[in-house]
Amino acid sequence: MSDNELAIRNIDPALYNDDLAPLKHEERNWGAFEIFNVWSNDIQSLFGYTLAASLFLSYSLNGWAVMAAIILAGVVVMFLVNLTGRPSVKYGIPFPVLVRASMGVKGANLPAMLRAIIGIFWYGVQTYFASTAVALLITALFGGGDGATFLGLSGVAWLSFAIVWVFQLAIFWQGIEPIKRFLNWAGPLVYVVMLVLMGVVWYQAGDELIPAIGGIFQGSGTQGGGIGAFLAIVGTMIAYFAAVVINFGDFSRFVRSERQMKLGNLLGLPLNVAFFSFIALIITAGTIVLFGEALTNPADIVEHVDSLPLTIVAALTFFAATVGINLVANFIPPAYDLANLFPSRISFRVGGLITAILAFFIGGLWVAVISQIGIPGFVNAIGAIIAPFYGIIVADYYLVKRQHLDMEQLFSSAPDSAYHYTQGWNRKALAAFGMAAVFSLATVLVPALASLNGYAWLIGAALGGVLYYALMRQDAAALAGSSASARKDHA
């Protein structure tokens, strides 16, 4: 019986439910196309488009250097997720179960809950932003109402928010297959609409488009220059994808083979990001010609065009794109993380319901309260803090455990089990995390380190891995010796 088909026996109900259990090969039906669409939906949000377009305007680099930086970031992220995705492909387990091997069967709840807090917060915020696309559609068709507001939102805005909230929950409640189908539909559809919009802009701009593109490629930005600007763009793009990098196993567990995962990551990251950025570049250059200014927000472009058909199509596209990234980055991970907290009581579905309920209040209070009191900065700080967990997971799996995990032990709380450590917590992993997290947090809070902010995630992850391996190297040597002895005895 292979590693990923092990029968789980002697399990602790406090650590196990059907959603966290290893997924058998015959139950996996994702291929490269599905992984490609995970990344397509990640980059094709309103914020993703604005980020890609802004990078060509914000730095004093020529366009070729910006494009090279964007592609390099895609390659780096592809490398990172291939590392975290492999164990989940091999064993069919989600992120919260995988991290038990390094943090301990109880200690795994620390990174899982920190990741859940980030996901729930941004799920609520993205639900609000997706609702603005629906509000745009309703207003274009029926008008904007009487102008009365509650908590900063009009009646149309509240109706739109409720529609998006129910729609997302309805998809999620049906299970992972409907989510997969939505992502597979939304990703290509957004590309079709973006290509059509690019064609329309190119046609209307005519011969003036190429000079406008040339002006952008000459570099007329205001921030930095040279190597520093190049690295800043790379760091910004990596930080954009960081939310999915650490828990990519939540998706790769559904893939049929590692080869399919790697192909999907290749198509979905460096190639997809480069192509999408090229589309954003063309459209942005076209807005300079057509409207006399560079518009990097798709909603602003639609407003300037003032066309009802375009408004309808754009609103549906923005809605699909933003819901797609919300499901990928902010809904599925917290559902697994909450299920890991109390597996016997919280299923994947119940975890998603808790996520949706908490996110409803976050999204509803976003305009009037949350965006005004600095909570996003607090959540960003948590995002920096969790970076060391990536390095710990990778160092543990590849250097300490030598790519071998005991499935039964991952679901056992017996004091002598492999991943129980000290009362369920690996103190060495906690020490490595604590020391690395201090640096990551400092880049967010200490002004003197602000220049490192774009690289904080990468440095924090590297520090976490190095410190963890330094503390665990004796364990790694012991495991290596044990494996060698086992092979010798077998021979």
For 343-374, how does the pLDDT look when each residue is reduced to its tens digit (9 = 90+)? 988 999 999 999 999 999 999 988 888 777 76
In a domain, 1, yes or no: no
Summary mean pLDDT of the chain: 84
Q: What is the pLDDT of residue 166?
A: 94
Tell me the pLDDT band of 152, cut-offs 50, 70 and 90.
Answer: confident
DSSP 382-424: HHHHTHHHHHHHHIIIIIISTT---HHHHT---TTSTTTTBTT
Max avg pLDDT among 208-212, 310-314, 326-330, 351-355:
351-355
Rounded mean pLDDT, 429-458: 82
In a domain, 11, yes or no: no
Tell me the pLDDT band of 442, cut-offs 50, 70 and 90.
Answer: confident
In a domain, 16, yes or no: no
User: Domain containing 105 — which CATH number?
Assistant: 1.10.4160.10
* Gap between the Cα atoms of 335 and 353, Å rounded: 8
Rounded mean pLDDT, 59-77: 86
* Gap between the Cα atoms of 95 and 56, Å rounded: 35
Tell me the pLDDT band of 9, cut-offs 50, 70 and 90.
Answer: low
Q: Is the pLDDT assigned to residue 4 strictly greater than 50?
A: no
pLDDT over 90, % of the chain: 36
For 82-94, how does the pLDDT look when each residue is reduced to its tens digit (9 = 90+)? 999 999 999 999 9
Tell me the pLDDT band of 265, cut-offs 50, 70 and 90.
Answer: very high
In a domain, 318, yes or no: yes
Rounded mean pLDDT, 159-170: 93
Q: Is the pLDDT assigned to residue 127 strictly greater than 70?
A: yes
Count Cβ atoms below 10 Å from residue 366 Cβ, excluding itself: 23
In a domain, 326, yes or no: yes
Rounded mean pLDDT, 324-342: 88
In a domain, 379, yes or no: yes
Instruction: Report which of residues 47 and 434 the model is more confident about.
Output: 434
Rounded mean pLDDT, 164-172: 92
Q: What is the pLDDT of residue 222?
A: 45
Residues β-bridged to residue 338: none
Q: What is the pLDDT of residue 426?
A: 96
Q: What is the pLDDT of residue 186?
A: 85
For 192-230, how does the pLDDT look when each residue is reduced to its tens digit (9 = 90+)? 888 888 888 888 888 888 888 887 776 544 444 577 778
Tell me the pLDDT band of 453, cut-offs 50, 70 and 90.
Answer: low
For 15-45, how does the pLDDT look when each residue is reduced to its tens digit (9 = 90+)? 899 899 999 998 999 999 999 999 988 887 7
Tell me the pLDDT band of 239, cut-offs 50, 70 and 90.
Answer: confident
Nearest by Cα to 44 from 379, 326, 334: 326
In a domain, 12, yes or no: no
Q: Is the pLDDT assigned to residue 416 strictly greater than 60?
A: yes
Rounded mean pLDDT, 67-93: 94
Nearest by Cα to 214 from 426, 25, 62, 10: 62
Q: What is the pLDDT of residue 487?
A: 45
* Gap between the Cα atoms of 458 and 371, Å rounded: 27
In a domain, 14, yes or no: no
Q: Specify the range with the lowest mean pLDDT, choosing from 8-22, 429-443, 458-472.
A: 8-22
Q: Specify the range with the lowest mean pLDDT, choosing from 1-5, 361-365, 406-410.
A: 1-5
Overall number of domains in the chain: 1
For 276-303, how does the pLDDT look when each residue is reduced to its tens digit (9 = 90+)? 888 888 888 888 888 888 887 776 777 7
Q: What is the pLDDT of residue 476?
A: 65
* Gap between the Cα atoms of 410 and 470, Å rounded: 23
* Gap between the Cα atoms of 238 and 458, Å rounded: 8
Q: What is the pLDDT of residue 394?
A: 97
Instruction: Report which of residues 239 and 112 the model is more confident about.
Output: 112
Instruction: Report which of residues 22 and 54 the model is more confident about.
Output: 22
Q: What is the pLDDT of residue 401?
A: 93
DSSP 331-345: IHHHHHHHHHHSTTT
Residue carrying the six token digits 């730095």: 59
Q: Give the range of the structural domain holding residue 414, as residue numbers without chain letter.
A: 35-482
Q: What is the pLDDT of residue 322?
A: 82
The token pair that represents 55 in the structure block:
């990078």
